[in-house]
């Protein structure tokens, strides 16, 4: 490794004569990218936390990867999704390592549910308890594949649907994994992936895994965090919402059903006749189904507030009786398991799970701790939830203030990483924390992100997008559209969307804030555009996000085929369609958080108690960030052109609309609908006649 300071090495890498230019002839040094890379290098040198908002097109991935690789430190990189993990691991990291001529050992680590559990596979093989014939056929295929796979990563098995009902039978979870007691421990794919990660220079994980690792210290699992000095969080805007899911408590009816199934499998295969396993399992399953029925609401998704002793709509007496039943069944299970503890480690693990459930049930009888909120998630199953209102405390105490990093475990590759780590006695160095995303707030301190994430003292950097929005994009806010609470609002949005889609020949993304609007607009467009040749209407839910995005990308002016996609929720971000396939983004209304969501309500109340305005300090900043995310779908590269239509005139008629408007990139404005449609026709003509325009 060079003795030059890291910042010099990094600056040299980004020059026109540097290794990046030599490796990629299209590489162009960009001031924003270099500025970010320098700040990252300084933080890696000195330790501490850096928060960077890097607008679309800055090239933030290279801006953190180059310093990270050149530093020679062990690095943990966390992204929001598995798709982004794959992109980093398969494309960006190997490319850069080659460009910089650095021999880097890389590892991709996913959650344990992604790997084959060979112990549970053996149990499934021995018991005729699989849910359906399809699973039995699939099991035979998994068995063949299991002989050949090195990684055990189920994504590599052809023809295995990630929603297959077989998966819970052949994968482990924290509850049912036997850890170091497992007879397959030495050849276990989960443990092997973990060992590989602990021995690598760069480990790519996702935020879910990071918080699961932080929240639940699994027995027999070495933690990731103590072994790295540099942790980088990309798509950091999702960190708070992901973190709160893992840092509280939850107990679901599906967990109870899983336990009843695992009890039956272990009882019948390892201790048949020692207890009435079938009877006990059936009792637990019945109690789980009764819990779901009691909470009501059918199979529809939704949330029940839970601010008193019992969840909304239930009497205290009924709720207490339900908890008594569950506790009674758990106690019977414990007694039965006690008699089988010596037979196999499975029963000790089952007993721990039951004890854990008993303590969860006891905790849900007590009021929630200060600074947290409780509710019930309803769907096919019911989940009792308790979560902190943010991750600030955890970030401050368990991340930023955690003991400095231990030295590299590079010499321990051959040892079992689950054993006490020998590198732990080496001298410690301060950690560096990098948090980055295209959207982290709208003020100089990025308070929307830094406050709930406990990063108010972090160094903050905002790097503007290099795109020329005034030339590349036009904003239109139709004044005459009725207010969003008017029943005519959604039909009016659908009518305007139809005109835009016809003018552009598709190439339009309609983002809604509710599923009701999504369905209504989707149906209207499908009916109205049935006669339009070459136009395809796609609606969220008709395929995976990846499938819909690929379908959408395939439309462009050359192919005389265009798509309109109507979508909500997750499509407001991560939907990346550069080029002419996407030239209009329509947003139905300002994306304020739903006021009756238990988490939103609790956060609002906390602000009130602090004497701060929930609207100014929570609802509005949330809407700002979501609007920036949605608008960010439009321009993805320097040559893109398009229109953003926000069908909510509060943006231009209210005082707070100014703050939202200021957060958007500085686009040109269309003054009227005819002017907008005329502009769209010109855009279409230019696309079809001059590809460089
Ligand atoms: S250690 Fe856990 S995950 Fe690995 S084979 Fe055993 S039960 Fe499965």
Per-residue pLDDT tens over the stretch 264-295:
989 988 899 999 999 999 999 999 999 999 99
Mutate to test the pocket of ligand 1, among 112, 115, 118, 151 (most ligand atoms within 8 A of CB): 118
116, 171 Cβ separation under 8 angstroms:
yes
DSSP 328-367: HHHHHHHHHHHTTTTT-HHHHHHHHHHHHHHHHHHHTTSP
Residue where the block lists tokens 């109507």: 566
The C-alpha angle with vertex 645 and arms to 470 and 479, in degrees rounded to 5, equals 105
CB of 599 sitting under 6 A from ligand 1:
no
CB of 117 sitting under 6 A from ligand 1:
yes
598, 655 Cβ separation under 8 angstroms:
no
Do the strands 535-539 and 562-567 form a parallel or antiparallel pair, or are they unpaired?
parallel
298, 228 Cβ separation under 8 angstroms:
no
Ligand 1 mean position, distance from CA 117 (Å)? 5
The distance in angstroms from the start CA to the end CA of the chain is: 46
Ligand 1 mean position, distance from CA 672 (Å)? 63
3-state secondary structure of 376: strand
Closest ligand 1 atom to Cα of 115 = 3
Q: Whose CA is nearest to atom 3 of ligand 1?
A: 117
Domains of the chain, each with CATH number or no CATH:
6-105+405-462 (3.40.50), 249-388 (1.10.275), 469-689 (3.40.50.300)
Closest ligand 1 atom to Cα of 120 = 8
71, 105 Cβ separation under 8 angstroms:
no
CB of 65 sitting under 6 A from ligand 1:
no
Distance CA 37, CA 12 (A): 11
Closest ligand 1 atom to Cα of 112 = 3
Distance CA 179, CA 498 (A): 57
Ligand 1 mean position, distance from CA 120 (Å)? 7
Rg (CA), the chain: 27
Do the strands 668-669 and 562-567 form a parallel or antiparallel pair, or are they unpaired?
unpaired
CB of 188 sitting under 6 A from ligand 1:
yes
Mutate to test the pocket of ligand 1, among 116, 179, 192 (most ligand atoms within 8 A of CB): 179
Ligand 1 mean position, distance from CA 121 (Å)? 10
- Which has the closest alpha carbon to 336: 291, 289, 284? 284
Query: For the segment 293-345, what is each residue's pLDDT rounded down to a tens digit?
Result: 999 866 667 899 999 999 999 999 999 999 999 999 999 999 999 999 999 99
Ligand 1 mean position, distance from CA 354 (Å)? 19
CB of 221 sitting under 6 A from ligand 1:
no
Look at the chain and count its residues: 693
Distance CA 546, CA 515 (A): 19
Q: Whose CA is nearest to atom 4 of ligand 1?
A: 188
Q: Whose CA is nearest to atom 2 of ligand 1?
A: 177
Amino acid 215: pLDDT: 78
Q: For the chain, which residues score pLDDT lower than 50?
A: 219, 408-427, 690-693
Amino acid 418: pLDDT: 37
Count Cα atoms within 13 angstroms, Cβ side, for 489.
22
Ligand 1 mean position, distance from CA 31 (Å)? 49
CB of 583 sitting under 6 A from ligand 1:
no
- Which has the closest alpha carbon to 79: 66, 93, 69? 93
Ligand 1 mean position, distance from CA 80 (Å)? 26
Q: Whose CA is nearest to atom 7 of ligand 1?
A: 177
- Which has the closest alpha carbon to 648: 634, 668, 627? 627
Residue where the block lists tokens 């993304």: 509
Instruction: Please name every residue paired with 436 in a beta bridge, in sequence order, or none if there are none.
Output: 52
CA dist 422 → 144, 190, 230, 429 (Å): 38, 22, 20, 17
> Model's pTM, two decimal places?
0.89
CA dist 231 → 102, 123, 415 (Å): 19, 38, 24
Ligand 1 mean position, distance from CA 577 (Å)? 40
Closest ligand 1 atom to Cα of 172 = 3
Each as own residue / partner, the long-range contacts of residues 22-27 (CB below 8 Å, 24 or more positions apart, any chain) are 22/99, 23/95, 23/98, 23/99, 24/99
Amino acid 426: pLDDT: 39
CB of 391 sitting under 6 A from ligand 1:
no
Instruction: Please name every residue paired with 376 in a beta bridge, in sequence order, or none if there are none.
Output: 304, 384
CA dist 248 → 242, 372, 390, 453 (Å): 11, 8, 10, 16
Question: What are the strands of the beta sheet with 106-108, ordered from one edge?
Answer: 106-108, 202-206, 75-79, 230-233, 432-437, 48-54, 459-463
Distance CA 256, CA 258 (A): 5
Ligand 1 mean position, distance from CA 331 (Å)? 26
Mutate to test the pocket of ligand 1, among 111, 123, 184 (most ligand atoms within 8 A of CB): 184
Ligand 1 mean position, distance from CA 175 (Å)? 11
Ligand 1 mean position, distance from CA 341 (Å)? 19
Distance CA 540, CA 522 (A): 9
Q: Whose CA is nearest to atom 6 of ligand 1?
A: 182
CB of 119 sitting under 6 A from ligand 1:
yes
Phi, psi of 240 (to 5 degrees): -65, -50
User: What H or E segment, with its residue span, contains residue 198?
Assistant: helix 189-199
User: What H or E segment, with its residue span, contains residue 579?
Assistant: none
The C-alpha angle with vertex 170 and arms to 204 and 336, in degrees rounded to 5, equals 120
CB of 190 sitting under 6 A from ligand 1:
yes
User: What H or E segment, with its residue span, contains residue 509?
Assistant: strand 508-511
Ligand 1 mean position, distance from CA 352 (Å)? 16
Residue where the block lists tokens 């060992």: 195
Q: Whose CA is nearest to atom 8 of ligand 1?
A: 117
Distance CA 263, CA 78 (A): 35
Q: What is the DSSP letter of 91?
A: I
């Amino acid at each position: 490794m060079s003795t030059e300071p890291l910042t010099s090495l990094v600056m040299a890498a980004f020059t026109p004569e540097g290794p990046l230019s030599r490796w990629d002839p299209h590489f162009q040094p960009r001031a924003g990218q270099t500025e970010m890379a320098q700040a990252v290098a300084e933080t890696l040198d000195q330790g501490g936390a850096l928060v960077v908002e890097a607008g679309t097109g800055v090239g933030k991935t290279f801006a953190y990867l180059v310093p990270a690789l050149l530093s020679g430190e062990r690095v943990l990189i966390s992204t929001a999704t598995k798709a982004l993990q794959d992109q980093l691991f398969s494309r960006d990291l190997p490319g850069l390592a080659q460009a910089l001529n650095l021999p880097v050992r890389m590892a991709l680590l996913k959650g344990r549910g992604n790997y084959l559990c060979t112990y549970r596979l053996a149990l499934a093989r021995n018991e005729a308890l699989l849910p359906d014939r399809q699973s039995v056929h699939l099991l035979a295929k998994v068995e063949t594949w299991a002989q050949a796979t090195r990684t055990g990563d189920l994504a590599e098995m052809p023809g295995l649907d990630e929603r297959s009902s077989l998966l819970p039978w052949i994968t482990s979870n924290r509850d049912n994994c036997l850890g170091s007691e497992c007879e397959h421990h030495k050849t276990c794919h989960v443990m092997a992936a973990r060992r590989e990660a602990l021995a690598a220079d760069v480990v790519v994980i996702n935020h879910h895994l990071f918080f699961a690792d932080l929240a639940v210290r699994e027995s027999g699992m070495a933690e990731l965090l103590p072994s790295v000095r540099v942790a980088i969080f990309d798509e950091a805007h999702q960190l708070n919402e992901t973190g709160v899911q893992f840092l509280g408590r939850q107990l679901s009816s599906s967990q109870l059903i899983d336990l009843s199934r695992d009890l039956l499998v272990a009882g019948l295969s390892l201790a048949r006749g020692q207890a009435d396993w079938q009877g006990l399992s059936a009792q637990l399953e019945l109690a789980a189904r009764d819990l779901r029925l009691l909470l009501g609401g059918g199979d529809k998704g939704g949330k029940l507030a839970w601010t008193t002793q019992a969840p909304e709509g239930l009497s205290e007496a009924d709720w207490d009786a339900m908890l008594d039943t569950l506790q009674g069944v758990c106690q019977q299970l414990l007694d039965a398991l006690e008699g089988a503890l010596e037979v196999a480690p499975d029963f000790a693990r089952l007993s721990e799970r039951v004890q854990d459930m008993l303590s969860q049930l006891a905790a849900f009888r007590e009021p929630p701790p200060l600074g947290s909120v409780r509710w019930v998630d309803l769907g096919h199953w019911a989940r009792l939830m308790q979560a902190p209102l943010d991750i600030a405390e955890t970030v401050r105490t368990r991340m930023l203030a955690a003991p400095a990093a231990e030295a590299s475990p590079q010499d321990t590759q051959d040892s079992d990483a689950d054993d006490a780590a020998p590198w732990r006695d080496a001298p410690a160095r301060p950690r560096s924390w990098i948090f980055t995303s295209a959207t982290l707030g709208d003020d100089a301190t990025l308070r929307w992100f830094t406050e709930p994430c406990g990063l108010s003292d972090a160094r903050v950097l905002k790097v503007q997008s290099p795109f020329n929005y005034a030339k590349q994009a036009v904003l239109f806010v139709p004044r005459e559209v009725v207010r969003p609470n008017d029943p005519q609002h959604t039909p009016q949005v659908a009518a305007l969307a139809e005109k835009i889609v016809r003018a552009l020949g598709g190439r339009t993304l309609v983002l809604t804030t509710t599923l009701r609007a999504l369905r209504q607009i989707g149906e209207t467009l499908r009916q109205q555009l049935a006669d339009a040749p070459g136009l395809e209407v796609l609606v969220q839910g008709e395929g995976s996000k990846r499938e819909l995005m690929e379908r959408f990308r395939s439309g462009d002016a050359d192919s005389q085929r265009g798509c309109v996609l109507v979508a909500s929720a997750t499509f407001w971000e991560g939907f990346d369609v550069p080029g002419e396939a996407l030239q209009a983004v329509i947003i139905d209304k300002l994306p304020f958080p739903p006021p009756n969501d238990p988490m939103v309500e609790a956060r609002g109340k906390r602000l009130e108690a602090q004497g701060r305005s929930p609207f100014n300090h929570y609802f509005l900043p949330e809407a700002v960030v979501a609007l920036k995310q949605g608008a960010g779908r439009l321009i993805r590269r320097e040559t893109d052109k398009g229109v953003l239509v926000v069908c909510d005139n509060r943006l231009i008629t209210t005082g707070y609309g100014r703050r939202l408007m200021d957060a958007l990139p500085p686009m040109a404005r269309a003054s009227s609908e005819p002017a907008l449609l005329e502009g769209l026709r010109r855009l279409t003509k230019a696309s079809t006649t001059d590809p460089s325009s």
